[in-house]
A and B are shown apart, each in its own frame.
Chain A
């Protein structure tokens, strides 16, 4: 037994290739980023050691701050929307819908399978105002809400919101299906017992479902967080970061800095910042997990 499961050759074969690949491609770049962050310019082109200058620059850079704020707002709203609405959907399936359950679940998962850029292109057309009204504006104009017609993704006030709506739309199905699976795992007896005890819907949720679903909700939050913290694809496809930089995320700003402005060092500082933000966020979400275990 020990011999088979302790087979050194097999362990090496199982672990080493992945280990090496992972080390070079995922872990080493963090170290290299750190090294880069002390330089200005692009490797091979005006590459100079500048000490802490890049780190100090971060604090005086208003474009960085703007991007950070956009990114945080995006994370907050999208996470609440995706997981909150996903949970509502899941509860709806379990307690409200009697028929068509599978059909609806299938349909609701549809947007999840669509490529992000395709969704972006689709929504760009939905929100379009020039040269022709897109779906949303033409509907609004024709049902007498002419005053609500907007350049949805062309105005600072609405661009981020439009993006958030799109990203929530695209991922509700994913969270709903996962959470629905978790709800199904709660045995009917528990729920019925609570119902017999006279618990109302809200109490049922608060005292029975919420605690039981907590691990899964946290999993969903982590998925949602890791998807939103990197905010790039959907914004790039829908708004390109505009208008101005109203929808420009940290990743997009980092991309500009490193690849358009040729400041690989400063770009690396922003990249490291995103990494730290990721760790901080996951830690905070993880805290919820532990706190309730006490």
Chain B
């Protein structure tokens, strides 16, 4: 059995290569095209086909995107909104999750169910009343409006994931810690959080993508261009540059994806591990 027929190996090899090539083309080529297109001069679009490689490096596109396109501002806003929301989501979901699964109180399963309802509430359903609420409280055009919505709408799924993970953890550890004289808060911080690292990473990754991608909330609650996020900013990009300026549009889009790509390349092991072995198994 050790030596398989030569022919089969070769066939398998070729097929593997074809598949790899296909995946590469479908998944990576559009992104590659985007990045190379972002350094093309506008005239190149007229003179050569769209798939042609750039004739040189025209960095001016990036300068335009960064300054005229306000990408710097959009980035700052997206980061503030997303990161602050993530902090709260993680804090709330771990504390609620722990209270609901491991602590002793009367209403815990009812509360757990109550939080689960939110998984089924689409953002669109809450949009109109929320907008009215924020208008009345003068919270439109603030970071607060977005952060509040992001956190609240991130809770249900996060708590669901965390509770699923916590249920698989044996109680002995907590009991041992308590017997050792550990108070509830230090138990939370020193035992529970480190043990749930994987689940927390999963929550962070999922919620990061959800929040970073939000468009509905941000385009409804924010009209001030100083507070726009990358998503809303990009949506109105062609207004700013005019559709003929492909270079600047591509540069802006590239700019919005580059940090994500770097972050991903940097963290991809943790992310994929979190996704595969983590708590998604709810």
Contact = CB atoms under 8 A, between A and B. Distances in A.
B230 A115 contact: yes
B125 A272 contact: yes
Interface string B89-112: 000110110111011110000010
B272 A106 contact: yes
A226 B156 CA distance: 13
Contacts of B272: 105-106, 109, 177
A141 to B, nearest CB: 8
A135 B33 contact: yes
A132 B115 contact: no
A205 to B, nearest CB: 18
A178 B275 contact: yes
Q: How large is the interface on B (under 10, 10 to 19, 20 to 34, 35 or more residues)?
A: 35 or more
A255 to B, nearest CB: 7
B102 to A, nearest CB: 6
A221 interface: no
A182 B118 CA distance: 26
Secondary structure type dominating chain A contacts = helix
A8 B54 CA distance: 65
A115 B213 contact: yes
Contacts of B184: 4-5, 7, 10
Interface in A243-259: 250-251, 254-255, 258-259
A149 B155 CA distance: 46
Interface residues of A, number: 101
Contacts of B268: 106, 109
Contacts of A142: 49, 51
A31 B50 CA distance: 51
Interface in A75-134: 89, 92, 96-100, 104-118, 121-123, 125-126, 128, 131-134
Nearest to B208: A113
A200 interface: no
B234 A177 contact: no
Contacts of B225: none
B186 to A, nearest CB: 10
A177 B275 CA distance: 7
A4 B281 CA distance: 30
Contact of B126 (A29, A216, A219): A29
30 contacts: A5-B104, A7-B103, A11-B105, A19-B96, A19-B111, A24-B152, A26-B126, A27-B121, A29-B127, A96-B19, A108-B23, A110-B31, A110-B264, A115-B212, A115-B213, A116-B213, A116-B231, A121-B237, A121-B249, A126-B33, A169-B30, A229-B122, A230-B123, A237-B234, A254-B127, A264-B132, A271-B127, A272-B125, A278-B125, A282-B120
Interface of A: 1-2, 4-8, 10-11, 13-15, 17-19, 21-22, 24-30, 32-33, 36, 43, 89, 92, 96-100, 104-118, 121-123, 125-126, 128, 131-135, 137-139, 141-142, 169, 173-174, 177-178, 180-182, 184, 215-216, 219, 226, 229-230, 232-233, 236-237, 250-251, 254-255, 258-259, 264, 267-268, 271-272, 274-275, 278-279, 282
7 A-B pairs with the lowest CB-CB distances in the bound complex, closest first: A181-B276, A25-B152, A29-B126, A14-B95, A32-B129, A29-B129, A18-B92
